[in-house]
Chain A
Amino acid sequence: MLTRNNIASAVLITLLGFAAPCALAQKMYDTGASDTEIKIGNTMPYSGPASAYGTIGKTEAAYFKMINEQGGVNGRKINFISLDDSYSPPKTVEMVRQLVEQDGVLFLFGTLGTPSNTAIHKYANEKKIPQLFVATGAAKWNDPQHYPWTMGYQPSYQTEAGIYGRYISQTKPDAKIGVLYQNDDFGKDYLKGLKEGLGDKAAKMIVAEVSYEVTDPTIDSQILQLQASGADVFVNVTTPKFAAMAIRKAYDVGWKPEQFLTNVSISVASVITPAGPEKAKGIISSIYGKDPTDPQWQNDPQMNDWRAFMKRYYPDGSLTDVNNVLGYAEARVLVQVLKQCGNDLTRENVMKQAANLKSFDTGTGLPGILVSTSPTNYAPIRAMQLMRFDGKEWVRFGNVIGQ
């Protein structure tokens, strides 16, 4: 019967029916998130042999400070807790446990170092804590099937080395390759990718594999060994300090191979200039972002945004250090993920949004290289472009590979 009471009840029930989903779309939080803040955990080597990378953490902290001053993300301030692990895996385990169990962070972001991240890999996945955008190029972070809570960021070393391997077998099939590599996960991953790129001719083409330790003072002996092996292609898998030494020494001893340099060491200011620009002429490398010291980005508006940010929020940071661009880019991607989360700040949703980036432009990537992820693809940046140093600057050539 359509009495007034009945109609009122019907209206009430209908309204409740609409309200219920709205109530469900209300705020949802896991530990570390609230109405006012989002707690993020990070470990960086601020001391020890890898302390040069600590500046990435400082850049990220500065970026979050800027975001907070602009009102935060969806009204929430970012509380970025970054601890020093001295690049020592046991320390990383301890610091991460502190961040998760003591400080109660919502998730981990940008933790640096392959051994460091390997140490907490299982822990993060067991406890279902997102381990986002780890700052290492190891290939194993792109494994959503077994480790759904871990995601990398930069193109993996194996991807990059594979590009060089394929390029060499296409352009110089009878090359004799000599490889100088750092005796750690970075160097060994590279070697693996190179061999994969060369295919089954790898064993024949690679005539010398020479390693060095990060603690070695010089690598002169290694360069001489490579020269003596008769190699005419030199794959230079070194970190900046050693890259500069290798480029300089190879030139000085009169060895003029076709040289491939890892993307980690392409900085004009930190590597090429100390080595001597004329000695680096002809070196091939690849890139996915903009080198801040490359003259062609001098007036690029997005890079100028970065420079303005650095001057205002991280004045001690070097404007020639590409690490500071990396930190900026990663922070921007993270803020995008947080924006996409809206009011649902559960760990599950954070991970879901991280795996749902659609062609996001960090502003520091090469034209056409964007950040994309999906539930089956946890490699945010996969594409790189080859480039050659012409004595003054890096000149890109060919197509963007791997998009």
Chain B
Amino acid sequence: MMASAPPRLLSVGMPIAVACAAPFVLSNYHIFQLTLVLVYAIALLGLNILTGYNGQISLGHGAFYAIGAYVAAVLMDRFGVPYWVTVPVAGALCLVVGFLFGLPALRLEGLYLALATFALGVAMPQLLKYKPFEPWTGGVQGIVIVKPDPPWGLPVSADQWLYYFTLAIAIAMFVLGANLLRGRIGRALVAIRDHPIAACAMGIDTARYKSLAFGISAMYTGVAGALGAIAVQFVAPDSFTILLSISLFVGIVVGGLSSIGGAFFGALFIEFVPSIADQISKSAPWAIYGVFLIGLIFLMPMGINWAIRLGWARIARSLHAAPAQSRSR
């Protein structure tokens, strides 16, 4: 039986080992950037659960990211809650909000769901600026957060500590996601995406799973938002425009839909490619970004993750074929 994917040790073990060792060789700034990559990866995994595995398009996931971020900021700044408590709270709240949003979304398909979520993403900044909320949200001025210090007097910098904290949560979320998606729930989601009527006929409660998918996906993105807020140390309505939602969407498509590894590649793309584009052309960096985007889709329409798998399969095939050839001589 030919392996179509690189062995687990390679695809999971190595990156984790590299991730753990990285902070010791990188500067604080690069550690900060990697922390953001992990944050985006968690968010992208969430979005992938909804759009990639369950086929519900969301162009407004930035809204859930914003909710998570503001929950963390408000709890830390206004109520003095320790940072590590804010993350699960943000996740729980977004789980509920996502589920509730998923209920009316059941009636909307494809384009119409895209519009509804797009609308959510566009409206979120205005909601965050709303005057009655100002005592908590800080209005347009936003909220400044203090970065947590390493606990127990550990000899690491605040950036390094935050990185490991984020890494631990990221690994946990990915393991959770993998179990979810490879098990019964995951199969139900995929079935609903591909053949909703057949799934229904098989006894899958479509409505419940679709709303659940929304909730879980929002939870992931909310957790990412909270971690992101702590890393950047600032939240403001302008941080969560529709551009964020679009970036997340681009991230999962580029990384690879319906794949867990795709979340990581997508995160690398959305974190680093804009800077690379900026270095290539100072006058029209986003044009370069757009060209990269289109080029990637041309070359790897299914995303980076699948391209790597295809590449690996080809290598594996040629390795297997070689001894057969020599035998036939």
Contact = CB atoms under 8 A, between A and B. Distances in A.
A134 to B, nearest CB: 14
Contacts of A390: none
Interface in A123-172: 123
Most chain A CB inside 10 Å of its own CB: which residue of B28, B144, B236, B241 = B236
A102 B239 contact: no
A69 interface: no
A79 interface: no
Interface string A239-256: 000000000000000000
A97 B231 CA distance: 12
B224 to A, nearest CB: 12
Given A98-B29, A184-B140, A118 B234 contact: yes
A174 to B, nearest CB: 27
A90 B32 contact: no
B126 interface: yes
A83 B28 CA distance: 19
Among all A-B residue pairs, the 3 with the closest Cβ atoms: A101-B29, A119-B234, A115-B236
A154 B318 CA distance: 68
B140 A188 contact: yes
Contact of B144 (A90, A118, A183, A213): A118
Interface residues of B, number: 29
A122 B129 CA distance: 22
A86 interface: yes
B286 interface: yes
Contact of A89 (B236, B285, B286): B236
A93 B234 contact: yes
Given A89-B142, A115-B140, A94 B234 contact: no
Interface in A196-222: 213, 215
Contacts of A98: 29
Contacts of B142: 89, 115, 118-119
A88 interface: yes
Given A47-B286, A94-B32, A89 B144 contact: no
A133 to B, nearest CB: 20
B278 interface: yes
A87 interface: yes
A232 interface: no
B228 interface: yes
A86 B243 contact: yes
A279 interface: no
A121 B126 CA distance: 24
6 contacts: A47-B286, A102-B27, A102-B29, A115-B140, A115-B238, A123-B233
A346 B92 CA distance: 48
Nearest to B244: A88
A185 B228 contact: no
Nearest to B289: A47
Interface string A101-124: 110000000000011001101110
B179 interface: no
A48 interface: yes
B232 A89 contact: yes
A119 B236 contact: yes
A103 to B, nearest CB: 10
Contacts, number: 76
Contacts of A47: 285-286
Contacts of A37: none
Contact of B29 (A86, A97, A115): A97
A374 to B, nearest CB: 27
A84 interface: yes
A89 B238 contact: yes
A122 B232 CA distance: 12
Contacts of B140: 114-115, 183-185, 188
B199 to A, nearest CB: 39
B243 A101 contact: no
A98 B122 CA distance: 29
Given A89-B142, A119-B236, A213-B126, 19 more contacts: A47-B285, A84-B278, A88-B241, A89-B236, A89-B239, A90-B232, A93-B233, A94-B232, A102-B27, A115-B141, A118-B234, A118-B236, A119-B233, A121-B144, A122-B144, A123-B233, A183-B140, A185-B140, A188-B140
Contacts of B139: 188
A118 B139 CA distance: 13
A121 B234 CA distance: 10
A84 B28 CA distance: 21
Contacts of A89: 142, 232, 234, 236, 238-239
B36 A94 contact: yes
Contacts of B237: 115
Nearest to B32: A97
A83 B278 contact: yes
A185 B141 contact: yes
A88 B232 contact: no
Contacts of A93: 232-234
Interface in A56-74: none
Contacts of A48: 243
